[in-house]
A and B are shown apart, each in its own frame.
Chain A
C-alpha cells in the first residue's frame, strides 16, 4: 500500500512539474531606492533572472519543494531566503545593504597629493610624471614644486610649504625619516635630491594634516614608497652633459626576488666650460654615487633593503660684499651613506605588520675663508668680514626603527598602531670648538580609519613623543573627516597638531629649548576621475613656540599662515595632451630668529602658479613637455642690531616677480620595435627658456649701504642625456617554470 502511494505521488509530482510557478517582487536598497541589475537565483536550479531598471523582477520555475532564493549585486551584501514552492505564485521583495568597500568608499585626502598607481582613479601624479615634468630635471622635489602649496624657492633646496621653512618638510622612505635628502651645497645655491625618482612607485605629497604615523615635520611630509620587484632584468647605462652611469637590476626566475647595483659619476667641469657660471669654481662640483638594493618576497609579504653611498666635493669663490678687493671662498667635501630596510607581512586574520629600519651617516668638511685678489688667505681686521674665516667638520648619524601593526575591523575600518625610536648623534668641530648633540626620540602612535558608510569616513589619531635632548613630552592629536558629496566628489576637513624638535643650529647654541609647534586646519573639496582632477583647499596654520635667537635663544616666536589653493588636471580635453594648473594664495607672517616683529618670511610669496603640459607624439616617438611657473615677488629685509635688546628693520623691499619657462623633450627611438635589443631614451631640456631675470632676495653689506641680488649661478640650465637599457624579459621563464 505504501509503495503504491509512493508511486502515485510520484506521478502526481510529475504532473505538477508541468505547472510553472511565478516568483516576483522588487529589489531595493536600505533607503528604499530601486536597485537594477540584481541577480536573483533559485539555488541548485537554473532558474532566476535579473531585476530591471525599475527594481522589479519576475521569473517562472517548474521546481517544487524547499529551495533557497538568492539576491546578489556587486558592492551589496548577498541576501538569501529559504522558500517552499508549491502551486501558488510567490511574491518576495529583497532589501540589499550596501557593503563598505575600499574602491567605492571615500578616502581621507585633505592636505595630501598622492602620486603613483596605488589608489587607482584618485591618482593625481604618476611616477612617470615626475621625470617628464619640464623644469624638474628628474628631481622629485622639482616636480612636487609644480603642485599647490609649494613655493618657488630657488636659492635653497627643500620644499617650502604653506608659509613653512624648508626644514619643516620631512621626507620618509618606506616609513622612516631621511636625514639628509639633498646633496650638501653652498649658501644661496640649491642642490638636488639624492634619490632617483625611479626608486619609487608611489609618492604622497602631504601639505598638511597628515597621519599620526609621521612626526617631526611642522608643515609637510613627502612619503615615498619604494618599488617592490622590477618588471624585468636589465642592464642600464647613461651618459649626459653632466654625468655618466651604469647599473643593473636582476629579477629572479620565479619573480620572487631581485637585486640591483648602480654607479654614477657627476662632474660638471665640461658643462661649466661651455655655460659660464657667476661664481668662480676652483673645485668644480663632482659626485660619486653608488647604490644597491635587494628585495625578496616572504611568505605573505616583502622584505626590501636599499643602500646608497655618495661622495661629493665643491669649491667656489664669490666677491665679498663688504669689500671691493676681497673674496669669500667656500669649499666642501662630504660623504653620505644611507641604508633602509623594510619588512611588510600579512599575518592573516586581518592583521598586517610593517617593520622598518634606517641608518644614515653624513659627513661634511667645510672651509670658508676670506681671500685677496691672488686667491690667498687673508684677514681684514674687521670682525664682520673675518667671521667668514672658519672651518666646520660635522658628522650626523641617524638610526631609526619603526613598527606598525594594522588590524582590519568590520567592513574596511582599520586600526593602526605602533612605535618608533630615533637615535641621532651629531658631532662636529667649528673652528676649535667641539660640538655634539645626542638625541633619543621615542614616539608611539595610534590611529583608526572609521568608515561609517561608503560616504562618510573619519581618521582619528594621536602621536606621543619624548625627546631626551629637550627632556619633554608632546602629544599631537590628528583628525580628518571625509564626506562624499556626489560621484567622484568629496569634502574633507582635517585638523592636527604638529611638533618638531628645533633645528641643530639652534640646539648647538642652546639646549634649553622646547618643541616648535604648528596647528593645521584644512577644508578641502575635490572631484577626481580618470580624466580630470579638480581640487580646492583652504587652510589656516598657527605657529607657536618658534625659536627666537635674540635677545636670547627661546621658544618665544609665533606666526600664522592662511590661504587657498587650486589644482586642475585634465587628460581629456585636448587629444594626447595632459596638463595641470595649480595656484596658491598665501598670507603668512612669523616672528622668529632675529625678526623684531611678525614679518612675512623671505621664502614666502603671496601668489604662486604653475602650468605644466605634456604631449607625446606617437608618430615621432617624442614627448614634449613644458612648464611655466610664476610667483609674485618675495620680501627681503635688512635687519640691523640697534643696541640694547633690539634688532631693527633698517631696509626692506620686494623682489621682482619670479618667472620661469622650462622645456624638455624625450625621444624614444626604439619605442615599439619588438626586435630591438635595447631601449633608448634621449632627453633634452632647458630651464628658463626666455632667459628671464630671476632674483630670489638680497644680501646686505654690514653697513647696509650695499645690497646684492641673490640670483642663480647661471640663468639657464641645459641638459642632454641618453639612457639605454638592455632588458631580459623574464615572463617566458616564469611561464616555463610554472607549467
Chain B
C-alpha cells in the first residue's frame, strides 16, 4: 500500500511536472513570438533570436525554437556586413532544428533563405551556385509538404526581385504569388506556435504587381 501511494504520488508529480513544463514552453514561446513581431531595432531582433536559442537549448527536443532563431538570423544576414558569416550562423542553428525534425518543409524554406543571403554577397558570380541551391531547397520544401505556402511565397518573391531580362518580374511572379495566397488562406498550422508567416510578403507582391 505504501508503495502504491508513493508510486501514484511520483506518477502524479511527474505528470504535473511534464504538464507544467509544456505549459511553460508554450507560454515562453508565445511571449517570444509576440516579441518577434514587435521587435524594431536589430538589437531587439537579435535579443529575440537569443531568447529562442535559450529556450531551444533548455528544451533540447523542440525544433521550433531553433527554427525561429535560425529564421531571424537568416533574415538578419541580408543586412549584415559579413553576410556569409551571419548566414553560416543561421545554418548552425538550423542544423540543430533539422536534427530534431527531419525532412521538415519549414526548415527547407529557411535553408533557401540562407542561400539567398549567401548569393547577395556577390550576385553576379554567385547566382549560378546559390540560386540553384535555393531553388533545390524550395523544391524539397514543396515535396515535404505540398500545402505549405512558404516555399511558394519565397519563389514568388525571388521571381519578383529577379530582373525581367532574367525571366523574373511581375509577369512571372504574380501567378505564383496568387497561388501562394490561396495556399496561405487554406493553411492550418499544427499549433499556434508553428510558423504562419508570409502574408505581408504575398500582399506586397500582389500590391506592387497590380
The reply to whether chain A is a binding partner of chain B is: yes
**Chain A residues in the interface with B (C-beta under 8 A):** 37, 39, 41-50, 52-53, 74, 103, 117, 120, 126-128, 231-232, 530, 616, 618-619, 621, 671-674, 729, 731-732, 734-735, 739
Chain B residues, Cβ within 8 Å of A50: 43, 46-47, 50
Q: Are B132 and A39 in touch, CB under 8 angstroms? A: no
Q: Are B139 and A732 in touch, CB under 8 angstroms? A: yes
B166 CB–A CB distance under 8 Å = yes
Interface residues as binary, B141-157 with A (CB distance below 8 Å gives 1, 0 otherwise): 00100000000000000
Pairs A-B, 6 closest by C-beta atoms: A672-B166, A672-B167, A674-B167, A39-B50, A41-B54, A50-B47
CA A117 to CA B124, docked complex, whole Å: 12
Q: Are A45 and B121 in touch, CB under 8 angstroms? A: no
B182 CB–A CB distance under 8 Å = no
Known: A39-B50, A41-B54, A128-B124. A46 touches B28 (CB 8 A): yes
User: For residue A731, which residue of chain B has the nearest CB?
Assistant: B136
CA A263 to CA B88, docked complex, whole Å: 41
Chain B residues, Cβ within 8 Å of A731: 132-133, 135-136, 139
Q: Are B129 and A739 in touch, CB under 8 angstroms? A: no
The 8 Å CB contact of A74, one of B84, B89, B143, B165, is B89
Q: Are B136 and A734 in touch, CB under 8 angstroms? A: yes
Residue from A42, A127, A739 with most neighbouring chain B CB atoms (10 Å): A739
User: For residue B56, which residue of chain A has the nearest CB?
Assistant: A46
User: For residue B42, which residue of chain A has the nearest CB?
Assistant: A37
Q: Are B162 and A672 in touch, CB under 8 angstroms? A: yes
B53 CB–A CB distance under 8 Å = yes
Shortest beta-carbon distance from A101 to chain B in Å: 9
Chain B residues, Cβ within 8 Å of A232: 132
User: For residue A128, which residue of chain B has the nearest CB?
Assistant: B125
**Chain B residues in the interface with A (C-beta under 8 A):** 24, 28, 43, 46-47, 50-51, 53-55, 57-58, 82, 84-85, 89, 103, 121-122, 124-126, 128-129, 132-133, 135-136, 139-140, 143, 162-168, 172
Q: Are A735 and B47 in touch, CB under 8 angstroms? A: no
Q: Are B125 and A126 in touch, CB under 8 angstroms? A: yes
Known: A41-B54, A231-B128, A530-B122. A619 touches B165 (CB 8 A): yes
Known: A46-B28, A231-B129, A735-B143. A41 touches B46 (CB 8 A): no
CA A46 to CA B55, docked complex, whole Å: 5
User: For residue B159, which residue of chain A has the nearest CB?
Assistant: A674
Given contacts A41-B50, A619-B165, 15 further A-B contacts (CB under 8 A): A39-B54, A41-B54, A46-B24, A46-B51, A48-B51, A48-B54, A50-B43, A50-B46, A74-B85, A103-B82, A127-B125, A672-B167, A672-B168, A734-B136, A739-B103
CA A731 to CA B134, docked complex, whole Å: 10
Q: Are A120 and B84 in touch, CB under 8 angstroms? A: yes
Chain A residues, Cβ within 8 Å of B28: 46
Chain B residues, Cβ within 8 Å of A621: 165
User: For residue A37, which residue of chain B has the nearest CB?
Assistant: B46
User: For residue B162, which residue of chain A has the nearest CB?
Assistant: A672
Q: Are A671 and B165 in touch, CB under 8 angstroms? A: yes
Shortest beta-carbon distance from B23 to chain A in Å: 13
User: For residue B82, which residue of chain A has the nearest CB?
Assistant: A103
CA A44 to CA B121, docked complex, whole Å: 37
User: For residue A116, which residue of chain B has the nearest CB?
Assistant: B125
Chain A residues, Cβ within 8 Å of B54: 39, 41-42, 45-48
Q: Are A45 and B46 in touch, CB under 8 angstroms? A: no
Chain B residues, Cβ within 8 Å of A619: 165
User: For residue B89, which residue of chain A has the nearest CB?
Assistant: A74
Chain A residues, Cβ within 8 Å of B57: 41, 43-44
Chain A residues, Cβ within 8 Å of B162: 672
Q: Are A671 and B166 in touch, CB under 8 angstroms? A: yes
Chain B residues, Cβ within 8 Å of A128: 124-125
Shortest beta-carbon distance from B168 to chain A in Å: 7
Chain B residues, Cβ within 8 Å of A671: 165-166
CA A42 to CA B58, docked complex, whole Å: 9
Chain B residues, Cβ within 8 Å of A39: 50, 53-54
CA A120 to CA B168, docked complex, whole Å: 27
The 8 Å CB contact of A672, one of B46, B125, B136, B163, is B163
Shortest beta-carbon distance from B27 to chain A in Å: 10
User: For residue A616, which residue of chain B has the nearest CB?
Assistant: B124
User: For residue B83, which residue of chain A has the nearest CB?
Assistant: A530
Q: Are B143 and A231 in touch, CB under 8 angstroms? A: no
CA A428 to CA B118, docked complex, whole Å: 54
Chain B residues, Cβ within 8 Å of A45: 54, 58
Chain A residues, Cβ within 8 Å of B50: 39, 41, 48-50
Shortest beta-carbon distance from B152 to chain A in Å: 16
The 8 Å CB contact of B139, one of A103, A117, A735, is A735
CA A188 to CA B58, docked complex, whole Å: 75
Q: Are B165 and A46 in touch, CB under 8 angstroms? A: no
8 residue pairs from A and B, CB less than 8 Å apart: A103-B84, A120-B84, A618-B165, A672-B164, A674-B172, A732-B136, A732-B139, A739-B143
Chain A residues, Cβ within 8 Å of B43: 37, 50, 52-53
Shortest beta-carbon distance from A371 to chain B in Å: 52
CA A127 to CA B125, docked complex, whole Å: 9
Chain B residues, Cβ within 8 Å of A673: 167
User: For residue A670, which residue of chain B has the nearest CB?
Assistant: B167
Chain B residues, Cβ within 8 Å of A618: 163, 165-166
Q: Are A44 and B58 in touch, CB under 8 angstroms? A: yes
CA A42 to CA B143, docked complex, whole Å: 39
CA A4 to CA B82, docked complex, whole Å: 60
User: For residue B53, which residue of chain A has the nearest CB?
Assistant: A39
Shortest beta-carbon distance from A224 to chain B in Å: 18
Q: Are A120 and B121 in touch, CB under 8 angstroms? A: yes
Shortest beta-carbon distance from A301 to chain B in Å: 20
Chain A residues, Cβ within 8 Å of B166: 618, 671-672
Q: Are A530 and B47 in touch, CB under 8 angstroms? A: no
Chain B residues, Cβ within 8 Å of A674: 167, 172
CA A621 to CA B164, docked complex, whole Å: 11
CA A373 to CA B133, docked complex, whole Å: 66
User: For residue B122, which residue of chain A has the nearest CB?
Assistant: A530
User: For residue A123, which residue of chain B has the nearest CB?
Assistant: B122
Shortest beta-carbon distance from B46 to chain A in Å: 6
User: For residue A41, which residue of chain B has the nearest CB?
Assistant: B54
User: For residue A38, which residue of chain B has the nearest CB?
Assistant: B50
User: For residue B135, which residue of chain A has the nearest CB?
Assistant: A731
Q: Are B165 and A49 in touch, CB under 8 angstroms? A: no
Chain A residues, Cβ within 8 Å of B164: 672
CA A41 to CA B57, docked complex, whole Å: 10
CA A47 to CA B58, docked complex, whole Å: 9
User: For residue B24, which residue of chain A has the nearest CB?
Assistant: A46
CA A729 to CA B53, docked complex, whole Å: 37
CA A39 to CA B135, docked complex, whole Å: 33
Shortest beta-carbon distance from B147 to chain A in Å: 17
Chain B residues, Cβ within 8 Å of A231: 128-129, 132
Chain A residues, Cβ within 8 Å of B122: 117, 126, 530
Chain B residues, Cβ within 8 Å of A47: 54
Chain A residues, Cβ within 8 Å of B124: 128, 616
CA A50 to CA B47, docked complex, whole Å: 6
Known: A128-B124, A731-B132. A103 touches B165 (CB 8 A): no
Shortest beta-carbon distance from B26 to chain A in Å: 12
Shortest beta-carbon distance from A392 to chain B in Å: 45
Shortest beta-carbon distance from A567 to chain B in Å: 19
Chain B residues, Cβ within 8 Å of A53: 43
CA A288 to CA B162, docked complex, whole Å: 41
Chain A residues, Cβ within 8 Å of B85: 74, 103
User: For residue A75, which residue of chain B has the nearest CB?
Assistant: B85
User: For residue A529, which residue of chain B has the nearest CB?
Assistant: B81
Shortest beta-carbon distance from B29 to chain A in Å: 9
Q: Are B58 and A43 in touch, CB under 8 angstroms? A: yes
CA A336 to CA B99, docked complex, whole Å: 53
Chain A residues, Cβ within 8 Å of B46: 37, 50
Shortest beta-carbon distance from A251 to chain B in Å: 12
CA A50 to CA B49, docked complex, whole Å: 10
User: For residue A730, which residue of chain B has the nearest CB?
Assistant: B132
Chain A residues, Cβ within 8 Å of B51: 46, 48
Residue from B43, B50, B84, B164 with most neighbouring chain A CB atoms (10 Å): B50
